[in-house]
Structure 1
Amino acid sequence: MLFLGFALNSISCKICPMKRKLLYSSFAAAVIIASFSAWWFWPQPKPLPLTLRQGSFEQLPGWDKANVKRSLQAFQTSCKSFLKQEPEKPVGSHHLDLKAKDWQPACQAALAIQPITNKKAKEFFQQWFSPVEFFNNRSVQGLFTGYYMPLLYGSRTKTEKYNVPIYGVPSDLVTIDLGQFDPAFKHRKLVGRAAGHKIVPYYTRAEINKGMIKKKAPVLVWIDNPIDRVFLEIQGSGIVQLPDGEQMYLGYAAQNGAPYTAIAKVLIDKGVMTKHNASMQAIKRYLMAHPKEMNKVLNQNKSFVFFERLSRNAAYGTQGVALTPGYSLAIDLKWIPMGTPLWLTTTRPERRSDNQKPFQRLMIAQDTGGAIRGLVRGDVFWGAGKRATYIAGHMKNDGHYWLLLPQHAVERLQKEFSNLHIMAADKKRTTLSR
């Protein structure tokens, strides 16, 4: 480079100013191209492999002071499901191969604990489980939100006030388990409808709102606004207060198979909200104040959920067990096995201030959600009522969890997980918010 610079200076003394400028420009361009080529061919860092790193209970932040009595009670509800299943039934996630028999000995021990005390509960988890975490050169962090059982107002019959239908499962909805056709598509399902001899995508939210399933799906109840219907779909279950004083409990039954788009994202992209103020309460206020925009905004979410009436007055999760407010967690079944205890460390909103409160608790994976995607991603079930509504509506915080897996299976699961060669970018967040 020094030699070239000297040569240019020597030459420039003998040529005209115009040619000198041209020569310098050409030389500069050559240097830039050479630099870019060097960058292009320079070895790029490889993505880091994900591993399952085993730890100890002493490493769990806050474990020494934790009260896990309610956590054990929530785990006992999952145990009742495990003990009903055949020992060889797969109950793991897509990447963690577990069978019912892996949980059953611990479950029998859990259900035998009477009376439950915090000391006995903590000793139980420490005896039967080992903490592991997803690791790629650092502990993987993720996003944690909250959900609740909303209270809606409705009627069994359509009226001028109650004119928004909550649909049951349509008669033409078809669900195909692709794993039955090819093991490579295990755990993947296709949802659609028959059109002649073909299966085509099911109707979108906009098409359903235009009446495409009026004659195909039963109306369980009529409510008073479409915003609450979307919130009911997001939460997965809810309570409808009827004019005669009776309450109808509704739970998730099926979905149209279309991709989910967060209403918050739509409004953020429009520039009317930010990530910091797009709470459920703020979204509802905005849409109620702009009724002409409401359907256009809501229809951006093509996903649509169908419900069923629950015979028992409680919220039930994907595992088929009653959810415990503050202790049940919705997770991504691709990564986390249903029923897994998870030591969660994050923060949550305080009811009467803008402050965030530390939240360290042993949760039980008992539910899933259309927007809950990622190896470290969770949605805390807060129950029903004003407090639950507030916390769930404002919770959107970073956090981390440790999986408590059956001790006898940890070494095997670590080897199998490593053999999958799952690569992940070395970054803090692994998922998008709902």
Structure 2
Amino acid sequence: MLRLAVAAAALLGLAACTPPEPRRVAELPGWGEDALAEAIPAYLSGCGKRTPVQTAALCAEAAALPPGDHAAARDFFERNFTLRPAGEGLMTGYYEPELRGAATASPDYSVPLHRRPADLVEVDLSAFAPDLKGRRTAGRVEGGRLRPYPDRAAIEAGDGSALLFLADPVDRFFLQIQGSGRVVLPDGGVRRVGYDGQNGRPYVPIGRLLADEGAIPRAEVSMQSIRAWLAAAGPDRARAMMDRNPSYVFFRDVPARPDQGPTGAQGVPLTPLRSIAVDRAEIPLGSPVWVVARDPRSGAPLRRLVLAQDTGGAIRGPARADLFWGWGEAAAHAAGPMQERATLYVLQPRNNPAPDAG
């Protein structure tokens, strides 16, 4: 029946409503509407890394562009880059949370934020098999063999070294999902913390588990609805649910300016609404990426140039992306419910059309 419906639509001329796939950067949907000069600082931030995507020549040309000149920025990308459609996938959002914490444990601050343990070993699997390029795992050496690292429940039951102590275990859980945050101390001071390794266990989204079990309607799953369920469940049920995600992230202090985002996997500060997390096995870090999606706040089209500057445990696949919204409550309210279908187009340098994704 579907095939007949498609054929009928073609006969009626309805298929002409579908726009053709863009072949050039200038043909991207919404390309002329984005304030492209705003993407140049994010592009330049990665130039110190000297990837195949951000060559010395391209970086020098981008640095010479007049600030705020959207037409010049548009011309820069149109002349120097070609398109590689990445396909359609899921785009979620993330942000940098702000939490309450303290340097020492107390009845009010009893939830340890663990440092990276000394026995955690991270492995680049591509060193052993070329078809595993971009894939990594972690564990610890026991008896001369690499063994899986303990899961979330076991780590929390242990006595690992704490970087800080938080007020709320749910805050820690969501901080591990976001990968970085700002911890406000009792004296008003702020410490920035960032990702410093993961236990190698697979990431299991508890929102999906809650939806599968009928606890939250699937269409209503968001950070806010998951938090509400955990709060209503009580400490024991909440802990048991969080333990069903065996992945565990460790943290370190991150010196950073308060007006900048956290440092992403590319080693540069993330820029709100201009940085995304990607699967680095599919999209090289530093790549400009055009996204076509929907704004979760208003439902309006979201079409803009972003930079692949981060990775994430749940970000897997050629068109899977996570959009960085910034920090604070406004960013949390935008990032939390974002579950949008998105089409991604990777911009590749003309002189190097297939950069290494590693």
> Which TM-score applies when normalising by structure 1?
0.73
The one of 111, 136, 158 equivalent to 2:63 is 111
Aligned equivalents of 1:54, 1:347: Cα separation in 2: 19
The residue identity in structure 1 corresponding to 2:63 is L
Show CA shifts across 1:105-157 (max 9, x none).
211211122434112111111121112213xxxxx311111000001101111
Shift of 1:307: 0.7
The one of 263, 282, 289 equivalent to 1:335 is 282
2:73 is the alignment partner of 1:125: no
The runs of 5 or more residues in structure 2 that have no matched partner are 1-20
Paired position in structure 2 for 1:370: 313
Aligned in 2, Cα 1:189/1:279: closer, same or farther, shift over 3 Å?
Answer: closer
Show CA shifts across 1:63-97 (max 9, x none).
12221011111111112322xxxxxxxx5xxxxxx
Aligned equivalents of 1:220, 1:58: Cα separation in 2: 48
> Which TM-score applies when normalising by structure 2?
0.88
SS at match of 2:138: strand
Show CA shifts across 1:361-387 (max 9, x none).
000110011111111111100011111
The runs of 5 or more residues in structure 1 that have no matched partner are 1-52, 83-90, 92-98, 135-139, 418-434
Paired position in structure 1 for 2:17: none
Show CA shifts across 1:227-252 (max 9, x none).
11111111111001100100010111
Aligned equivalents of 2:243, 2:67: Cα separation in 1: 51
Q: Give the conservation status (yes or no) of the 8 Å contact 2:90–2:339.
A: yes
Paired position in structure 2 for 1:304: 248
2:110 is the alignment partner of 1:142: no
2:23 is the alignment partner of 1:70: no
Shift of 1:338: 0.4
Aligned in 2, Cα 1:347/1:154: closer, same or farther, shift over 3 Å?
Answer: same
The residue identity in structure 2 corresponding to 1:370 is G
SS at match of 1:399: strand
The one of 291, 300, 319 equivalent to 1:357 is 300
Aligned equivalents of 1:342, 1:307: Cα separation in 2: 29
Aligned equivalents of 2:307, 2:145: Cα separation in 1: 41
Shift of 1:54: 7.3
Show CA shifts across 1:207-238 (max 9, x none).
01211xx2xx4311101111111111111110
2:192 is the alignment partner of 1:224: no
Spell out the pairing of 1:93-242 with structure 2 (5 A cutoff): 99=52, 103-134=55-86, 140-211=87-158, 214=159, 217-242=160-185
The residue identity in structure 1 corresponding to 2:60 is Q
Aligned equivalents of 1:325, 1:221: Cα separation in 2: 26
Spell out the pairing of 1:359-398 with structure 2 (5 A cutoff): 359-398=302-341
Aligned in 2, Cα 1:380/1:188: closer, same or farther, shift over 3 Å?
Answer: closer
Paired position in structure 2 for 1:14: none
Paired position in structure 1 for 2:48: 80
SS at match of 1:334: coil
The one of 273, 286, 294 equivalent to 2:238 is 294
Matched pairs, number: 333
Aligned equivalents of 1:394, 1:185: Cα separation in 2: 32
Aligned in 2, Cα 1:335/1:129: closer, same or farther, shift over 3 Å?
Answer: same
Paired position in structure 1 for 2:5: none
Aligned equivalents of 2:129, 2:26: Cα separation in 1: 44
The one of 203, 223, 228 equivalent to 1:280 is 223
The residue identity in structure 2 corresponding to 1:311 is P
Shift of 1:285: 1.1
Show CA shifts across 1:134-186 (max 9, x none).
3xxxxx31111100000110111111121111111101111233333444544
The residue identity in structure 2 corresponding to 1:59 is E
Paired position in structure 1 for 2:18: none
Aligned in 2, Cα 1:384/1:340: closer, same or farther, shift over 3 Å?
Answer: same
SS at match of 2:174: helix
RMSD: 2.0
Aligned equivalents of 2:267, 2:71: Cα separation in 1: 29
Q: Give the conservation status (yes or no) of the 8 Å contact 1:54–1:132.
A: no
Aligned equivalents of 2:123, 2:303: Cα separation in 1: 39
The residue identity in structure 1 corresponding to 2:79 is Q
Paired position in structure 1 for 2:12: none
Aligned equivalents of 2:310, 2:130: Cα separation in 1: 25
Aligned equivalents of 1:56, 1:273: Cα separation in 2: 43
The residue identity in structure 1 corresponding to 2:339 is K
Aligned equivalents of 2:225, 2:175: Cα separation in 1: 16
Shift of 1:388: 0.4
Q: Give the conservation status (yes or no) of the 8 Å contact 1:113–1:120.
A: yes
Shift of 1:57: 2.7
Task: Please identify runs of 4+ aligned residues in structure 1 that moved more than 6 A.
Answer: none
Shift of 1:258: 0.2
Q: Give the conservation status (yes or no) of the 8 Å contact 1:54–1:130.
A: no
Shift of 1:188: 3.4
Show CA shifts across 1:300-327 (max 9, x none).
0000000110111340100000110011
Aligned equivalents of 1:300, 1:156: Cα separation in 2: 28
Show CA shifts across 1:340-397 (max 9, x none).
11111100222xxxx4121010001100111111111111000111110000001111
Aligned equivalents of 1:327, 1:188: Cα separation in 2: 25
Identical columns (%): 38
The residue identity in structure 2 corresponding to 1:305 is V
